[in-house]
Amino acid sequence: MKRTLKILLIALLGLLCFSSCVSKYRKVKISSCEIESFLPSGLKGFNAVAKVGIDNPAPDFNIKSIRATIRRDSLDLLYINAENIAVDGKCNKVYKVPVSGQISKSFSLIQVVALASKFNPDEYRVDISGRATVAGNLGKDIEYKNVPLKKFIEKL
């Protein structure tokens, strides 16, 4: 009986500690984002390095399988993949994240350049997905669907 009570108490303390960490993970914020370098790759692809500032009051975690699709007028415009990010705990730091992308078959390079010259974030929507993990594979899938690009930019 004492052993069962001890195990139950340890489990409850573990859950309490874990729940306090979870609330800290909700306070993680992206503080800045900018493109450091951009290099075309063929006629429809590109490689870039993004500098992403992350304010993390929680313990260390990783962000894996980061993918985004940028859409205009319900047509996919860009497909973007980013490499995994290992976010240090309890700090505000800027991370360099390698990014690769591809222009969809619905658009040509010339059309994308023309769209960039008269860029209006109200016309675009974004789907973003990834997986935030702690301690190996323990984690949560994160997915935002059909978010107006303007709202995403305002959060930065």
What is the reported pLDDT for 10?
A: 53
- Whether 15 has a pLDDT exceeding 50, the answer reads no
Task: Copy the structure tokens of residue 29.
Answer: 């914020």
Q: Is the dihedral of CA 6, 8, 12, 15 positive or negative?
A: positive
Rounded CA-CA distance 82/80 in Å is 7
What is the reported pLDDT for 102?
A: 95
Model pLDDT for residues 94-140, shown as the tens digit of each residue:
999 999 999 999 888 888 888 888 888 889 999 999 988 887 777 88
**Residue 120 belongs to some domain of the structure:** yes
Please tell me the total count of domains within the chain: 1
**Cα separation values, 7 from 14, 17, 94, 134, Å:** 10, 15, 41, 24
**Residue 99 belongs to some domain of the structure:** yes
Domain around 119: 28-154
Q: What is the pTM of this model?
A: 0.76
- Whether 154 has a pLDDT exceeding 60, the answer reads yes
Q: Which one is predicted more confidently, 5 or 154?
A: 154
**Residue 90 belongs to some domain of the structure:** yes
CATH number of the domain at 59, please.
2.60.40
**Residue 10 belongs to some domain of the structure:** no
What is the reported pLDDT for 142?
A: 86
**Residue 4 belongs to some domain of the structure:** no
- b/e per residue, 36-71, with b = 16+ CB within 10 A? eeeeeeeebebebebebebebebeebbbbebebbbb
**Residue 91 belongs to some domain of the structure:** yes
**Residue 134 belongs to some domain of the structure:** yes
Q: Closest Cα to residue 63, out of 72, 50, 76? A: 50
Rounded CA-CA distance 84/132 in Å is 10
**Residue 132 belongs to some domain of the structure:** yes
3-state SS, residue 24: helix
